[in-house]
Amino acid sequence: MPVYYFYGEEDFFKDLLQEEIEKLVPADQKDFNFDLIYGSDASPAKVIDLARSFPMMAEKRVVIVRDFLKLGDQTDDGTLNDFSSYLDNPNPSTILCLIDQKYPDKRTALGKSLQSADHAVAYEFEKLPDYKLADWVIDWTKYSHKREITPEAAQLISQMVGQDLKLLSTELEKVCTFVDSEERVGIEHIKKISGSYRDFNVIELKNAVVNRDMDSALAIAEQMLLKSNYNAGEIIKTVGFFYNVFGNIWQICRLSEKGLQKNQVQSQLGIKSSYVFNAQWSEASRFRLSEMPQIFEALLDADSAAKGFSTLDTSSIFLLLIKRIIG
């Protein structure tokens, strides 16, 4: 296919595909047959000219445009709609890869051409929901490292790292590099190789909070406060972690209160691993949908307080958040 349009909020997959497309031009041919352009630094006319030019002493040339829609800012040298005619008749010896966060306005000539062109394909990469992260870890470990990881370990590392797939893949590479190739990656490997002591305290704190064990939760929180200079940035990070946890809980509570059975909820959320789903279902079973607004309000208040919109000290902000969530 001579034209690709990659868009969406998830940069990880867009970056991976860009790397694969770059490899189509051998290193010794890149000086003459490869161009990486940023939209704010070029114009539509310049990119189209590059795409229409033929490779030099090679079969293919590659032109990649990041922040593609910013090309439209260069109104003195063509417009984005000029790509419409190129899509209808692209240069077969050029691979043109256009990358942005958004899809062009579908009402424009370019937007219509992308939808109908025989020689172009568009792929959207949405941000992966938190409740699908553990499944992704299992699949990525198998695909990228040819290794097995236990669902328990996948759940742990996904909770520790969160939605940053680039960081998550880096942590997985670190673990898979140091674990014996004959072993399945388990929780013990994650704890030994990845993350920090405090990260595991956050997981333990989460377990105590979702179990509504106030005494344990406050004791863990006190330990965390003693073992670090618990600054505002760390509170904001912890609030973000709990926002993801309760985002997952809210999803399950919302579907359950609609009358869906457990297996229907799993199907609706698209979670493949039964272990992962059962763990999330167990956490959600301790809360009601009606509690979610108050919990999210407590998280928002703690975030604002940590950013300076309160006279409370950081320790009080942290402990008050736990008490408000548990209720």
Q: What is the mean pLDDT of each run of 10 residues along the chain (327 residues)?
A: 94 95 92 93 92 90 95 73 91 96 92 89 93 94 92 89 90 88 84 66 90 92 75 81 92 95 95 92 95 96 89 87 93
Same domain for 136 and 58, yes or no, is no
Same domain for 55 and 155, yes or no, is no
> What is the residue type of 206?
K
Identify which of 37, 25, 7 has the alpha carbon closest to the alpha carbon of residue 95.
25
- Give the pLDDT of residue 249: 95
**Considering 195, 227, 250, which residue would you say is the last residue of a domain?**
195
Same domain for 257 and 321, yes or no, is yes
Same domain for 218 and 324, yes or no, is yes
> Which CA distances in Å does 70 have to 15, 121, 182?
18, 20, 49
- Give the pLDDT of residue 312: 85
- Length of the chain counted residue by residue: 327
Same domain for 283 and 238, yes or no, is yes
- CATH number of the domain that residue 314 is part of: 1.20.272.10
Same domain for 146 and 42, yes or no, is no
- Give the pLDDT of residue 196: 56
On the CB side of 147, CA atoms within 13 Å amount to: 25
- CATH number of the domain that residue 20 is part of: 3.40.50.300
- Give the pLDDT of residue 199: 64
Chain position carrying tokens 């922040």? 67
Cβ atoms of 55 and 30 within 8 Å: the answer is no
Chain position carrying tokens 């497309």? 21
- Give the pLDDT of residue 76: 65
Same domain for 222 and 279, yes or no, is yes
Number of domain units in the chain: 3
- Give the pLDDT of residue 265: 96
Same domain for 119 and 22, yes or no, is yes
**Considering 124, 149, 182, which residue would you say is the last residue of a domain?**
124
Same domain for 188 and 242, yes or no, is no
**Considering 195, 220, 237, which residue would you say is the last residue of a domain?**
195
Range of the domain at 144: 128-195
Dig out the tokens for 58 from the structure.
């090679």
**Predicted model pTM:** 0.78
* DSSP 8-state code for residue 129: P
